A and B are shown apart, each in its own frame.
Chain A
Amino acid sequence: AQTVTQSQPEMSVQEAETVTLSCTYDTSENNYYLFWYKQPPSRQMILVIRQEAYKQQNATENRFSVNFQKAAKSFSLKISDSQLGDTAMYFCAFSKAAGNKLTFGGGTRVLVKP
């Protein structure tokens, strides 16, 4: 079974600064998909960014980028130019096939301070 570990329960960052969230996973699959989801206080699950394991290029979405290290099974999220609206829980998730069930990490709470 796949496992996803987020080792940082909580992170704080000053507005406009950069924060990096860690995620490691364990799988025997060669091809799979990785995701970062944002969950604000509204509880809504919002897809931030996704990465296919077969792609060597790291995914980017505006201020959000990932550092995907397949050999190390590491998938970190960098939030640049942090904004107050980035305050939320962030979950790393794994799927062994497109559209297949997601396995989530325990989450990292991010607090952006003005």
Chain B
Amino acid sequence: NAGVTQTPKFRVLKTGQSMTLLCAQDMNHEYMYWYRQDPGMGLRLIHYSVGEGTTAKGEVPDGYNVSRLKKQNFLLGLESAAPSQTSVYFCASSHWTPGNPYGYTFGSGTRLTVV
């Protein structure tokens, strides 16, 4: 099925460990985003990409790095995990065309716990 796939769906890390979250989309979307959602809060933008090979900082980028080496993949890295990074992470993609200017598609989320 077409859409946005996030892996893994759950992960527990120890403080100081590193990991990479993978986001893959098969819709040929140009734009991709990483958000985090903390309990009882809305989604906050971490990093985003407007095309292959490009990345930009969002609202809460500290402690994270991203890469968009292939158009279909957007990776989110945690270099040294901290308890404050315990959250649910959502990937999304979008593509603007005159016929579908609002096409945001979200992944199902990754629940990350840092202990």
Which residue in B95, B106, B108 is a CB contact (below 8 Å) of A99? B95
Contact B43 A104 (CB under 8 A): yes
The answer to the question of B45 belonging to the interface, with a C-beta cut-off of 8 Å to chain A, is yes
Q: Which residue of A lies closest to B106 (CB)?
A: A45
Contact A106 B42 (CB under 8 A): yes
**Interface magnitude class on chain A:** 20 to 34
Which residue in B41, B90, B101, B102 is a CB contact (below 8 Å) of A106? B41
Contact A101 B48 (CB under 8 A): yes
Q: Report A-chain residues with C-beta under 8 Å of the C-beta of B42.
A: 4, 6, 91, 104-107
Q: Which residue of A lies closest to B9 (CB)?
A: A43
Digitize A81-98: 1 where CB-to-B-CB distance is under 8 Å, 0 elsewhere. Answer: 000000000010000011
Interchain CA distance A97-B43 in the complex, whole Å: 18
The answer to the question of A64 belonging to the interface, with a C-beta cut-off of 8 Å to chain B, is no
Interface of A is mostly: loop
Question: Distance in Å from the Cβ of B13 to the closest Cβ of chain A?
Answer: 19
Interchain CA distance A50-B101 in the complex, whole Å: 11
Which residue in B40, B104, B108 is a CB contact (below 8 Å) of A102? B104
Contact B45 A101 (CB under 8 A): yes
The answer to the question of B88 belonging to the interface, with a C-beta cut-off of 8 Å to chain A, is yes
Which residue in A9, A50, A99, A103 is a CB contact (below 8 Å) of B45? A103
Q: Report B-chain residues with C-beta under 8 Å of the C-beta of A107.
A: 40-42
Digitize A31-60: 1 where CB-to-B-CB distance is under 8 Å, 0 elsewhere. Answer: 001010000001111010010000000000
Which residue in B33, B45, B101 is a CB contact (below 8 Å) of A98? B101
CB-based closest 10 A-B pairs: A99-B96, A98-B101, A104-B42, A45-B106, A99-B94, A98-B96, A104-B43, A43-B109, A106-B42, A107-B42
